Amino acid sequence: MSKLPTPHIAATEKDAFAKTVLMPGDPLRAKYIAENFLENAVLVNNTRGVQGYTGYYKGKRVSVMASGMGMPSIGIYSYELFNFYDVDTIIRVGSAGAISPELHLRDVVFGMGACTNSAYADQYRLPGTFAPIADYGTLQNAVKAAERLGVKPYIGNLLSSDTFYDDANSLSEWQKMGVLAIEMECAALYMNASRSGKKALAICTISDCPLSSGEECTALEREQTFNKMIEIALEATE
């Protein structure tokens, strides 16, 4: 496929998106980021209500577009951005549930790698198990940005799950392996980046603590109050 727009993104110009795209799951968080952090933001996609904007942050051209929920959804959008819109880097800015007992509500986690219960990698017909990892340079930039902003970085493995309501209830098993938090998109993003020869990083804010306090953020809080994570991602853009 070479013609634009794609089946899921309405932008007709290849350069409608900046080289770096921030990607929250929630379309309303994409709108919030564009309206509160970017200058001269222009709506470049609203197909199926998945809002995408391009603007400027401290003089740097940056885009933000939602991914929706789950690996099939971020798999589609990140693939089209990497392969059809010439995007170089996607930074997921999402929410995650704490697995590690060291994590608390609103802590910021950096996905150095992504474990998964998904069969997403089966499409590549590999003779083994693929280990999805972040781009090291982008991770390094983000950790340095966090430290400048006074935010403690928690760095390690995330678990990308295909299920939100999981009958197996196996989080304690992942905790034994040192996995920090659970979310639903990172592994597919990292695999698409690897296959496309591009860069990706997941930065997540802890929105609930299912194994400890049981605390959780509201939908509105997830949409509008995870500013530390957003600032880190924007400061890490090149």
User: Phi then psi for 40, rounded to 5 degrees?
Assistant: 55, 40
* 3-state secondary structure string across 98-143: ECCCCCCCCCEEEEEEEEECCCHHHHHCCCCCCCCECCHHHHHHHH
Identify the active-site residue in 26, 88, 135, 208.
Answer: 208
- Catalytic residue status for 107: no
Amino acid, single-letter form, for residue 10: A
CB atoms within 10 A of CB 99: 29
How does 135-162 read in b/e, with b if 16+ C-beta sit within 10 Å? beebbebbbebbeeeebebbbebbbbbb
Q: Angle, to 10 degrees, between the axis of helix 71-84 and the axis of helix 186-196?
A: 30
How does 29-65 read in b/e, with b if 16+ C-beta sit within 10 Å? bbbbbbeebbeebeebbeeeebbbbbbebeeebbbbb
Q: Distance between CA 155 and CA 23 in Å, rounded?
A: 19
Q: Distance between CA 139 and CA 137 in Å, rounded?
A: 5
Which residues are known to be catalytic?
208
